[in-house]
Amino acid sequence: MITTMELLDALRWRYATKRFDPSKKVQQDDLRALLEAVNLSASSFGLQHYRIVVVEDPETKQALRAASYDQAQLTESSHVLVLAAKTDMTPAYVDDYMQRMADTRGLPVDQVQGFGEYIKGTLTDKSTDFIIAWNKRQAYTGLGTLLAAAAELRIDSCPMEGFQPEEYDRILGLTERGLTATVIAPIGYRAAEDATQTHKKVRLPLDEMVITV
């Protein structure tokens, strides 16, 4: 079990990696552990409003680099993880979630249907723009889990918003899946020549960061 100090050490160790060593690949067991961590992340109502796209194909990574202002992390990293938000939240999706909840917990589905109806009721008058923005915020919650889990596994990462979502959606075929690229995180292992790994973190003192009321 990871201790509080080990978690803090891992977070102090991590940084937004600018250059990855392309010869070093994340092993499948570690990748699966990282993806399972994101899958366990919190989300509003537990609806998991986004999906994780794992990109390892070199040609696809090259195309994504062109849609990311030629940033080297896209092709030098072991994998590129794309957190893609759902572009809707339909009653049928909520019903599927209720069925999965019932199956997982060994309950008759009618015992959870009230919760499902409550969720659907809160979304009845919400616009498409509202739903997409809501789903994107949930993806950022997943990103936080991803960065912390990667640090604990000593896998380097770099959260990035500097890309063209429409191009990502086209390259990865996300639109037809009802998804849109929201935030990305190349992962792998830092290159020796990445000078930013030696930079000290610049953070507010804790008593300035935290407001207690």
pLDDT tens string 29-59 = 999 999 999 999 999 999 999 999 999 999 9
Does residue 180 sit in helix, strand or coil? strand
Q: Hey, what are 16's tokens?
A: 């937004």
What does the pLDDT read at residue 5?
Answer: 85
* Distance in angstroms between the alpha carbons of the first and the last residue of the chain: 33
Q: What's the CA gap between 11 and 9, in Å, rounded? A: 5
Residue 87 one-letter amino acid? T
Range of the domain at 87: 4-209
pLDDT higher than threshold 90 for residue 3:
no
pLDDT at 208: 97
The token pair that represents 109 in the structure block: 């589905």
* Distance (Å, whole) CA 40 – CA 206: 28
Averaged pLDDT, 189-206:
96
**Whether the predicted pLDDT of 21 surpasses 90:** yes
Q: Rounded to whole angstroms, how far apart are CA atoms 100 and 117? A: 15
Whole-number mean pLDDT of the chain? 97
Digit-coded pLDDT (tens) for 111-167: 999 999 999 999 999 999 999 999 999 999 999 999 999 999 999 999 999 999 999
Examine the pLDDT at 198 and tell me if it is beyond 80: yes
pLDDT band at 19 (very low <50, low <70, confident <90, very high): very high
Mean pLDDT of 97-114: 97
* pLDDT at residue 22 is higher than 90: yes
The reported pLDDT for the residue numbered 68 is 98
Percent of the chain whose predicted confidence (pLDDT) is above 90: 98
**Helices then strands (H, E): number in the chain?**
9, 4
Taking the whole predicted model, whether its pTM rises above 0.85 is answered as: yes
SS3 (DSSP) at 54? strand
With bands split at pLDDT 50, 70 and 90, how would you rate the model's confidence at 2? confident
Residues 6+ apart with CB under 8 A from 117: none
Torsion of CA 159, 38, 134, 8, to 10 degrees: -60
The string of pLDDT tens digits covering residues 176-190 is 999 999 999 999 999
Q: How high is the pLDDT of residue 4?
A: 80
Report which residue type is found at 128. T
Chain CA centroid to CA 45, Å: 17
Model confidence pLDDT, tens digit, residues 60-89: 999 999 999 999 999 999 999 999 999 999
How many separate domains does the chain show?
A: 1
Dihedral of the alpha carbons of 13, 17, 19, 24, in degrees to the nearest 10: 60
Helices (H), the chain: 4-13, 28-39, 58-66, 73-76, 91-105, 113-123, 128-152, 165-172, 206-209
Cβ of 99: how many Cβ atoms within 10 Å? 14
Token pair recorded at residue 124: 């009845």
SS3 186: strand
> What is residue 188's predicted lDDT score, i.e. its pLDDT?
98
* CATH number for the domain harbouring residue 142: 3.40.109.10
- Displacement of CA 132 from its chain's centroid (Å): 15
